[in-house]
């Protein structure tokens, strides 16, 4: 089994990179775990209080559960993945029955910041896009998909996203084996190279 961690700032296009990797590999053998499903639940807080949580600080993620799940999947066990709602800022009642696969991709802004989780990765990737590009994508996505307004997105960007990016996410780039540029749509060469490295790793893991 091969475990790959993919980090990168908000709006860097991690999802697109994952999708492109899946196209190059046999996607039936790949499981994608998103850090987003592992936001801590705060049932004790009201909606207004939950809205104020700093979602870009590592402590907002249930890394214990995420690390436990990756360990269990590596042991060939099935896990119940939580499902998180960005609308209500809390876990839903649903869970996803998740079975282990040959390749596990763990993606999220903070996945390279946590030492124990990082140690489980056979390959560490960081997706890089310039801050202005990321902000543009974030505005579009939050308004279209997450029910936010422009003012809210910009305030959050200034007060938490940018400082947390500088404090935690950008420095975690140092742990990456490969940095994938994702500024323009033209990152085909990087994806091709990445798929070759992954295929190579799969073979060496199978052989060892
Ligand atoms: N977040 C939020 N509301 C919550 C929980 C998290 O707005 N209730 C935000 C955090 O502020 C964090 C972002 O979700 O910045 C993490 O998701 P992001 O990495 O932007 O999403 P992906 O789709 O994984 O990113 P990409 O554009 O790289 O594909």
ipTM of the shown complex: 0.92
| The pLDDT value given to residue 203 | 80
Q: Please report whether residue 146 resides in a domain.
A: yes
| The pLDDT value given to residue 146 | 87
| The pLDDT value given to residue 142 | 94
CATH code of residue 198 = 3.40.50.300
Q: Please report whether residue 56 resides in a domain.
A: yes
Q: How far is the CA of 36 from the centre of ligand 1 (A)?
A: 7
| The pLDDT value given to residue 208 | 55
Around ligand 1, the residues with Cβ closer than 6 Å are 8, 10-15, 36, 39, 55-56, 86, 89, 109, 137, 161
Of ligand 1's atoms, which has the minimum distance to the CA of residue 109?
19
| The pLDDT value given to residue 187 | 83
- What is the percentage of the chain residues whose pLDDT exceeds 90? 79
Nearest to 73 by CA among 40, 107, 30, 39: 30
Q: Please report whether residue 112 resides in a domain.
A: yes
Q: Which residues of the chain have pLDDT under 70?
A: 185, 205-208
Range of the structural domain that residue 24 is part of: 2-203
Ligand 1 atom 8: residue of nearest CA: 89
For residue 5 the two structure tokens come to 């961690």
| The pLDDT value given to residue 56 | 97
CA distances from 199 to 18, 26, 71 (A): 15, 10, 22
| The pLDDT value given to residue 206 | 56
| The pLDDT value given to residue 202 | 83
| The pLDDT value given to residue 27 | 81
Q: Please report whether residue 208 resides in a domain.
A: no
Domains in the chain: how many in total? 1
Q: What is the pLDDT of residues 89-110, one digit of tens each?
A: 999 999 999 999 999 999 999 9
């Amino acid at each position: 089994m091969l475990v790959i961690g993919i980090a990168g700032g908000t709006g860097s296009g991690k999802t697109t990179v994952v999708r492109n990797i899946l196209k190059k590999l046999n996607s039936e053998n790949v499981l994608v775990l998103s850090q987003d499903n592992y936001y801590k639940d705060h049932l004790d807080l009201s909606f207004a209080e939950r809205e104020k949580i700093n979602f870009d600080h590592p402590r907002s993620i249930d890394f214990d559960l995420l690390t436990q799940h990756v360990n269990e999947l590596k042991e060939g066990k099935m896990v119940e993945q939580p499902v998180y709602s960005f609308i209500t800022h809390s876990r839903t009642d649903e869970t996803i029955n998740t079975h282990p696969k040959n390749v596990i991709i763990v993606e999220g802004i903070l996945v390279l910041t946590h030492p124990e989780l990082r140690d489980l990765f056979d390959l560490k990737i960081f997706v890089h896009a310039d801050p202005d590009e990321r902000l543009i994508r974030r505005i579009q996505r939050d308004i279209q998909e997450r029910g936010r307004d422009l003012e809210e997105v910009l305030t959050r960007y200034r007060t938490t996203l940018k400082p947390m990016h500088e404090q935690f996410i950008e420095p975690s780039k140092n742990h990456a084996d490969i940095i994938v540029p994702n500024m323009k749509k033209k990152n085909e060469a990087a994806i091709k190279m990445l798929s070759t490295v992954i295929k190579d790793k799969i073979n060496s893991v199978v052989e060892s």
